[in-house]
């Protein structure tokens, strides 16, 4: 990033740039995370309004990431992030509703931000659950079908996901997968790579 935003000058060479460089890095990282999620909305939504909004926000964020450090640091990223968040939640509801996410059949523990650490979730109907921000540390998800499950910001550290199907999950990231414990039977979206440590088992 320093190559583009700061002309290749590192903060070690120019200590006076340290604060602004670190701030710009944090902002650009957040912008790229938003682009990742918006790409999923554009590819998977059935709502033309969602497509248009995702495209508009993507163009806006892409232009911002290509600008200079002054523009990046001056941008109202908080407002932009809030706008993206609303779209992501609307898209999530759109997809999850196809799996009767609001039905009485779903376990009451499956809620946004839920503490499901070390819980055995095998056998529960998970499809369409809203688990954004949920703590799934060391949870047992072996052979679970997570199609339509919103995993935005969910903590999957040491979660047992051997044989689980994440291929249709929402907002799954590479870092989430890397922190989990899976195997060659774990199904992942095409854009997510299989961690090398899974193959070592």
Q: How far is CA 17 from CA 8, 26, 67, 69, in A?
A: 12, 14, 17, 11
**SS3 call for 3:** helix
Domains and CATH numbers, the chain: 2-99 (no CATH), 103-201 (2.160.20.80)
Question: When comparing pLDDT for 7 and 134, which is higher?
Answer: 134
Residues 123-167 pLDDT 10s: 899 999 999 999 999 999 999 999 999 999 999 999 999 999 999
> Residue 26: what pLDDT?
83
DSSP string, 4-71: HHSTT--TTT-GGGHHHHHHHHHHHHHHHHHHHHHHHHHHH---HHHHHHHHHHHHHHHHHHTS-HHH
Q: How many CA atoms lie within 13 A of 22 on its CB side?
A: 7
Confidence of residue 13 (pLDDT cuts 50, 70, 90): low
């Amino acid at each position: 990033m320093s190559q583009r935003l700061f002309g290749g000058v590192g903060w070690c060479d120019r200590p006076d740039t340290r604060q602004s460089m670190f701030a710009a890095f944090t902002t650009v990282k957040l912008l790229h995370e938003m682009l990742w999620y918006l790409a999923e909305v554009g590819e998977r939504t059935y709502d033309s309004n969602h497509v248009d909004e995702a495209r508009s926000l993507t163009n806006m964020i892409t232009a911002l990431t290509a600008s200079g450090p002054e523009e990046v640091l001056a941008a109202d990223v908080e407002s932009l992030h809030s706008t993206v968040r609303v779209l992501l939640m609307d898209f999530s509801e759109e997809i999850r509703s196809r799996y009767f996410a609001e039905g009485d059949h779903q376990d009451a523990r499956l809620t946004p931000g839920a503490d499901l650490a070390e819980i055995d979730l095998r056998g529960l109907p998970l499809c369409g659950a809203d688990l954004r921000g949920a703590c799934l540390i060391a949870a047992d998800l072996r052979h679970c079908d997570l199609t339509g499950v919103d995993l935005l910001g969910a903590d999957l550290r040491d979660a047992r996901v051997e044989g689980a199907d994440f291929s249709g999950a929402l907002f799954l990231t590479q870092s989430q997968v890397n922190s989990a414990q899976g195997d060659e039977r774990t199904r992942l979206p095409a854009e997510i790579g299989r961690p090398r440590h899974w193959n070592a088992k």
